[in-house]
Structure 1
Amino acid sequence: MPVAAGASPRTRALAAALRRMKADSGLTYAGLAKRTKELGVPHGAATLSRAAAGTHLPRLTTVRAFARAAADRNSRHAQFLAADRAEVLWAAAGAERAAVLAAEPARPRRSTAGLARGLAGLRARAGQPSLTRLQKLTAGPGCRVPRSTIHRILDGKVLPTRDQLAALLRAFDAAAGPGRVVVEDHRKWLEARNAIERRLRPGPPEPVTSYGCIDGQLDELLERREREEEILRKVGRWNDEEGDSEEDEYSLGVIRDPYAPWEALDEDELAAWEQEALAAEPENGAGEPLAEVVRRARG
């Protein structure tokens, strides 16, 4: 499978290098995963495969584990040399991604994923501090945010609490260094976060009125009749006077006929009534036979 076409140049270079390492090792991804476990840096085959796909920038720990597993199993020097070379490529890809994010306007967004992208832009402007450093920088006054939580927030997996977001914004400013301001207006970011929470919060249930259609059955019937009308019109078999009679409304359940006793009968009673209707029908009676009405009503 070729490296992802949409990947940035340096991410493609990293993915290509990892693929060359795998090819030179002669191992499958399952074999590489087994080697990482033996080396004490366990990674799954799926994780290693994604790292070499080029669709995203993998974690540094994954890249180093991949390189060590693909290197000479009998030489620790070769393993760590390969890991260091892979880290150089990873850092270049990370710097390229950070430059792209830093060039974008870092502004509050309207969704959890959008907010995460905006925060990623702030992180890039702050010099792309590691998650561990951000965790330490949030440990001051207020709310300490664990690195695992920071990762989920920046990945758009969760909406940060107000305290977590405030702590992260302060951490970005602190990471940028003295005299540098990364976040121009903390209040706007907090307001954007609150607006997202309000949109995500379920609203009050809609009141049920007497005009509603139970289980949507009437709507489904109406839609089906409209489709039938459209088909009949196309083949030239539709009569414009059709669809306006009370009979149609009875069949849709819009009008309940007080003289339609079969609606209150069970299957056995309907069968008995049908037999009586058949016996009572004249041979050449006018109109629709009652038995046919009963059969249609049961249908």
Structure 2
Amino acid sequence: MNRASDRTTRSRPGAEPAELATLRGWLRAAKGNLTFYSLARRARGDGRPEYKVSEYTLRQALDGRLSTLPTTLAFARGAGADQKKAERLWAAADRAVNPPPRRPAPYVPGAFTTPAGLVRAMNRVRATAPHTSLRALADRAGPGLSRSTLHRLLSGAPMPTAGQLAAFAAACEAGEAATAALLAGHRRILDGPPRPFRYGCAEAEWAAERRYRDEAARPWLAEPERDWYEQQLHDEREADYQRQIDEAEALLDELEADPHPAGAAPSPAGRDLRAELAAIARAQPIYDAWIGRARST
């Protein structure tokens, strides 16, 4: 008889559960005047192995400890009692003697912002679930999450979608708070890091400081003031230079308007005038520096 899968209370508690006392009283009433030898012989009457039990084992069913379910069913069979009722009474006594472990409070994740933080939060939510195996979670999550998919998501590759995350939280019975925290962290990861805050007053202060520096440097960039004599010399030099430019341009126009055969070489006068204009152009920066004119870029 296989007893490994059944739980048995090895020590009698100080305060016996009422369900256990009810089961023992029902078995004692079903036994009546039968001996334990007769019970064991009648239980294995058809030779079925699951009802092959000894007299000593049947005697233990009445000594105050919770017997195994096969022993209880064999006792009821040997006494000719209702085996389904015996099974119901045994299940009630088993729940009273061996209550299920108390489930820890569901874990509510904090404000994580990285995929690694999401994986840690999912594993901690799974640890507080009523059923933590991947098979049980996959059965409760539905067709969208298989065991292999859950294993990959809980390992960090790839990152789950919002639908998969909601199905995972529902399978873990995480509750509304934990589900909302998981989805909020998922959105933060997809949105990326927050943009830096721009302080408007700091920009205004920077612009004011820049304007102050420019105004302080303006006197050094301006041309120095001239007296009336220096200004008169400057104007005369400027007028003389402009007159030379005008005369050269007028002469160049006359030479270009003079017809000459195609392919003929330009006249010596044209060559001399062009050379003079090139020299004037090369001397322009030097002249500007000499008369103090600001160069244009």
Same-fold call, TM > 0.5? no
Taking structure 2 as the reference length, what is the TM-score of the superposition?
A: 0.28
Larger RCO (CA within 8 A; separation ≥ 6): 2
Calculate the TM-score normalised by the size of structure 1.
0.28
Q: Which has the larger radius of gyration?
A: 2
